[in-house]
Chains A and B, each alone.
Chain A
Amino acid sequence: MKLAYWPGCVSRGFTTELHGSMAFTAGKLGIELVELDRANCCGAGVIAEHNQELADTLNARTFALAQQTGLAMMNICSTCQGAQSECQQRLDADSAYRAHVNEALSGQGLEYVKGKDGFENKNFLWVLVEDYGLDRLAEKVVRPLSGLRVGPFYGCYVVRPKDRLGYEQHPDRDIYLEQVIEALGGEVVEYDGARKCCGFPVITMNRETSLRQAGTHVGDAIDAGADCLVTPCPLCHLNLDMQQPEAAKIVNRDLGLAVLHLPQLVGLALGGEPKQLGMGKHIASTGWVEERLTGAAAPA
C-alpha cells in the first residue's frame, strides 16, 4: 500500500512524536508514505472563518499536489481531515467555483480535479479500518494490548458533521477507534467524552471553557477505569496531554492519564518500544501504560 501523506503542522511542531510514531507504524504495517512536503497548512477552520475562499484554495493546492502523485491521500490529524473535507465539499459542489479556485493554482501548474482517479483524503484511522483491514491489522499484532483499558477520543472533526464526512458510505466511522482497540487486543473503556470536544479551538479565546472541557473528559475516563486515552488528533492531544496539569487546576481534581496518539497505540501492539514511539515526550506520564503492557507480557 502506497499513499500520499500529509502529516499536518502539529506533528512536525508540538507533537513530533506523532510524526515519528507514524513513520515507525507505517513501516511495520508495510505502508509506504510519500510525504507531501510542498503542501501547506489546512487552515484548521480558522483561515476559513477569516476568508473562506483562501481556505478552499490552500486546500485545493494540497489536493492538487496529492493528485500529482496519482495516490490516495492520508492525513494523521482529525482537524486536517475536517477542515480539508469541508473545503473539498465546497470545491466538489460546483464546477464554476472550482474553476475559479483553480485559477489561482494555474500559474503553479496545479489543478484540483474532482474525483480524479477516485481521489480521496482519509485520516489514518479510516485507512486502517477501510483499506488496510482490521483482520490484517490483528494478524500483525505481536504484543496484544491485553489488559490495557483504552478510552477512545475521536476529535470533533472526524465525527461531525455526518453528511460531510462520508458516513453515508461508511456509517461506522464513529466506532472505528473501538474496533481498532479491540483488534489490537485492548479493552475499550466507555465514558462520556469519547466524541465530545477537547476544547482546543478556544484555548486562546476562552482558556477556562477550553480547559474545563479537556479536564472533564480526562476525569470521566479516569473514573471509568481507563489506563490511557487514544486519539487520532494532535490538537486534541495538546489539550488533553500538554495542558492536562492546567486542566486539572480548572476542574479542581487530580488527573494524570496517559494520552496516546493513534500510531503510538498501534505501534505498541506491533512491537514498538515506548521510547521508540516517542512516549517519553508526553506531559502526562505514559509509565502506567508501559507497566500494564510489561505486566501483561510477563509469563504467569
Chain B
Amino acid sequence: MIPPPFTYVAPQSLPEALSLLQQHGSDAKLMAGGQSLIPLMKFRLASPKYVIDLRKVPGLDTLEERDGHLVIGAMVREAAIEHSPLLQQRYTGLVEASEVVADPIVRNFATLGGNLAHADPANDHPAMMLALRAQIVAASLKGQRHISIDDFLVDTFETSLAPDEALVEIRIPHPPQHTGSAYIKLERKVGDYAIAAVGAQVTLHGQTCTHVGLGLTNVGPKAIRPTEAEQFLVGKQLDEQTIREAARLAGEAAEPTSDLRGPAEYKRGVVRTLTARALRLAAERAQKG
C-alpha cells in the first residue's frame, strides 16, 4: 500500500514548524515517529497535503524532571521511556504502558506525544495519562498553553489542539511520597490493541487512599476516567471490599462495544478485574515508595 501523494517537509526549528502549520492548517499533519500516521495514510484514512516531520526540530527530546514535573518532549520514543532508569521507580505505570505499545520494533520510532495526539481510544497512553493527571503543552505562533489531559482528549481521533497548534511536551506531576502506579493490559497477542486495559495511580497515607487516578483503555469513544470509582476510593482504607466496589464502579463507567475482541459485557468484566489488579499493584508499590 502506498500513501496518497503529499509534500514532505522537515523544518529545522519549532518556529519554522509552527509557521508551516499555521500556513497549511488542517491540510497539514505533524509527524513524530510516523508509526500511526503512516499506516493511516496507507489505508487512506488520512490524506494530508503536507506532512511536517519534527525529526530535525531541536529540543523535543527532553526527558527530565523539572519544576515539580516529569517533562517528556514530543519526540521522545517509547523505547526511551521503556528503558529509562529515571522512570522505572517513580513512574512505573508509564513505563508499563510504554512496554505494551505495539511491539518492540515499532517502539523504536513511536513516541508518547504521537500516541496522545493521535487520540485513538485503543492507544495505551491516554488512559495512563488520565491516571497520572498529565498536562499537555501545546505551542502555536501565538504562544504556549497547558491543557489538562481530560480537556485534551475530546473524542475518537480528536483532541482539543487547534489546527495551528503542536503538542510539544507532556508534563506529569511528581508523584508525592507513598505513591505507586500500574498499567495492566489484556491483549490477544503482542502488537494488538487492548481488549481492555487499566491505568492506576494511588497515594497512601498509612492504609488510607488520599489521591487516586484511574484511566480505561479501548472501552469507549476515548480513554475514560471512571470518576465515581475515583471519588469512592478517596479517604478509604484500600481493603479488598473497597477495591472490589471501585472496580465495579469502573466497570459501570466503561462504554464498551462488542467487536472481534469480545462482547461488551465480557469487556466490562475485564475492566472490573483489571481495575482491581491495577489498584492492588499500585497500592503495593505505594507502600514501598
Q: Determine if chain A interacts with chain B.
A: no
Q: What residues of chain A have their CB less than 8 Å away from a CB belonging to chain B?
A: none
A-contacting residues of B (Cβ < 8 Å)? none
